[in-house]
Amino acid sequence: MYWNKPYECMPREQLEQLQSKRLVKLVERLYHNVPFYRTKLQERGLDPHHIKGLEDLNRLPFTRKTDLRDNYPYGLFAEPINNIVRIHASSGTTGKPTVVGYTRNDLNNWSEIAARCLMAASATKNSMIQNAYGYGLFTGGLGIHGGAEKLGASIIPVSSGNTEKQLMLMKDFHTTHITCTPSYALYLAESLKTYGIAISDLQLKAGIFGAEPWSEKMREEIEKRLHIKAYDIYGLSEICGPGVGIECVEQKGMHIWEDQFLMEIIDPVTEESLPLNTMGELVITTLTKEGIPLLRYRTGDRTMIMDELCPCGRTHRKIQRLVGRTDDMIIVRGVNVFPTQIESVLISTGHVTANYQLIVKREGILDKLEVRVELNEDQAIDSLEDLNAIERKILQKIHGVLGIQVKLTLLEPGTLQRSEGKAQRLIDLRNI
C-alpha cells in the first residue's frame, strides 16, 4: 500500500526530470542565499547557469559534517531565522552539535515522507503506533510523530526509556507498531519475561527500527522474539531525520525517496562516483529542503545503490542495509570489519545473544579486537570444558567467516549495559 502513489511509483524518466529541475533551482538558491556555497561554487568557477541538470552533479562541491560544525549554529541556513519553525541538533561525541533548521514547508515534506515510510512498513490509519524514539533535539521522536499524524494513525508519544512502562502501554493500549532502535527492540523483547508479559498479551504486528546499524541476523532475532515484522528505516539529522528511506514489505533494501533526495555512491578516498551495485559511501543532495539544503552531503554511511526493480511497484531506488559508518570500520591485521559483520556471526552461532561490545586497541600499527558478548540465557553450561568448547567454536566461526583473530570474552546474560537509544557497540581505545 502506498501513501502517495503518484510520487512513489512515478516513472523513472519523470522522476529524473523532476530531480534535474529541483537540482538547478537548489544551486541557484544556495548561490544567492548561502555565502559558504557561493564561495565554494566560485572557487570552482561555477555560477548557477552552469548547472543544467543531473548531468552536472559531478561538478558540484561536497559538504562534510565539519562544514556544519564550522558554520555553527546557523551559517549554512538558506532562510532567515524567522522562517525557521523548528530546530534539531545531533550531539556529536565531542564539541558542538550539528544544528539544522526546518521551515514550515520542510516539516510538511518531512511528515509526507515519514508517512510514506510508515505505510510502506505496513502501518495504516488504523494502526496504534508506539513511538519509543527519543523526543527532543534528536530527530527520531518528532520525525516519526509527524508522519504518523499525517497518516492519521494513532500515535503514542512515549519517547525513549522506561522499559516497564513501554511494555505496560504496549499491552494496555493495543500497540500494533513499535518504533525504536533495533537494540532497544531486543531489550524490550528480553524484558517481557521480567515484567510477566506474554507475547499473546500483545497485538504487535511490526516494528520500524533504525538510527543505528543492525544485521540481518539481528532482524531475524527480533522478529522471532517479538513475533513481528521488523523494518529498517534510514535517516540522519543533517538531511532530515527518520524517513529518508525505508524497507517495503519485500524487506530487501531501503527505498530512498528520490523526489526529495538525490543519492550517489562515491569512493570515500578518491571521491569518484561509483556505479550501481557497488559498495561505497552514500552521498545525498537535498532537493526540496529550504531551511538548510545541502549539496552532496557525505553521510559517512557505507552501502550500495541497488540496480533492481522492486516488486512492490515503487520506482525509487533502494540502498542495501547499511554496513555501518566509515568511522566505525576496524582494521584487524589488514582486514576491514564492521561491527554488524561480527554481530551476524555471533548471533548465527546460536550460543550468544545480540548483546555485544567491541573493544578495539592499537598495539604498534595493528588493531586488536576484543569481542565481549553475553551467553544465551538457556545456554546450558555444566563445566569449564563446556565454556571452552563454546568459546573455541565461536572463535573458529569468526575466523572462518571474517578471517580475523579476536579475543573473546563470554559474559553472563544481562551483564552489558542496555541502551534506550543508539547502542554503543564499539569502544575505541585507539586514540587516532
CA 221, CA 232: separation in Å to the nearest integer? 14
Q: Is the dihedral of CA 188, 190, 196, 198 positive or negative?
A: positive
Q: Give the three-state DSSP class for 74.
A: coil
Instruction: Please count the CA atoms within 13 angstroms of the CA of 311 that sit on its side-chain side.
Output: 4
Cis peptide before 73 (omega within 30 of 0): yes
How many residues touch ligand DLL (CB under 6 A)? 20
The whole-angstrom separation of Cα 203 and Cα 285 is 39
Q: For ligand DLL, which is the closer residue by CB, 27 or 185?
A: 185
Q: What are phi and psi of 255, to 5 degrees?
A: -70, 130
Q: Is 140 in the site for ligand DLL (CB under 6 A)?
A: yes
The interface region with ligand DLL, picked from 4-12, 233-241, 352-360, 375-383 by CB under 6 A, is 233-241
Task: Establish if 421 lies at the interface with ligand DLL (CB under 6 A).
Answer: no
> Strand, coil or helix: what is 1?
coil
Q: How far is the CB of 48 from ligand DLL (least distance, A)?
A: 29
The binding track of 75-94 with respect to ligand DLL, each residue x by CB under 6 A or -, is: ---------------x----
Q: How far is the CB of 56 from ligand DLL (least distance, A)?
A: 26
Please state, in angstroms and as integers, the Cα–Cα distance from residue 267 to each residue in 19, 283, 368, 383, following that order. Answer: 23, 10, 26, 49
When the beta carbons of 46 and 153 are compared against ligand DLL, the nearer one is: 153
Q: State which of residues 114, 211, 248, 410 lies at the interface with ligand DLL (CB under 6 A).
A: 211
Distance CA 278, CA 12 (A): 20
* Smallest distance, ligand DLL to C-beta of residue 46, A: 28
> By C-beta, is 185 or 211 nearer to ligand DLL?
211
For ligand DLL, the nearest residue by Cβ is: 210
Q: Contact between 299 and ligand DLL (CB under 6 A)?
A: yes
Lateral strand order in the sheet of 297-303: 261-266, 280-286, 297-303, 324-325
* Residue from the set 41, 322, 371, 375 that interacts with ligand DLL by CB under 6 A: 322
Work out whether 234 is an interface residue with ligand DLL (CB under 6 A).
yes
And the C-alpha cell for 60?
558540484
For position 233 contacting ligand DLL by CB under 6 A, the verdict is: yes
Least distance from ligand DLL to the Cβ atom of residue 90, Å: 4
**Stretch of residues binding ligand DLL (CB under 6 A), selected from 230-238, 270-278, 285-293, 409-417:** 230-238
φ/ψ (deg, to 5) at 210: -170, -160
By CB under 6 A, name the one of 67, 106, 112, 212 that touches ligand DLL.
Answer: 212
* 325 is a site residue for ligand DLL (CB under 6 A): yes
- 325/418 with CB nearer ligand DLL: 325
Residue in 139, 154, 176, 288 binding ligand DLL, rule: CB under 6 A: 139
- DSSP 3-state of 104: helix
Q: In what order do the strands lie in the sheet with 305-306?
A: 154-156, 128-131, 177-180, 206-210, 229-236, 241-247, 254-256, 318-319, 305-306
The region of 25-33, 211-219, 268-276, 345-353 touching ligand DLL under the rule CB under 6 A is: 211-219
| Residue with cell string 549554529 | 73
Which residues are at the interface with ligand DLL (CB under 6 A)?
90, 133, 139-140, 210-213, 232-237, 241-242, 299, 301, 322, 325
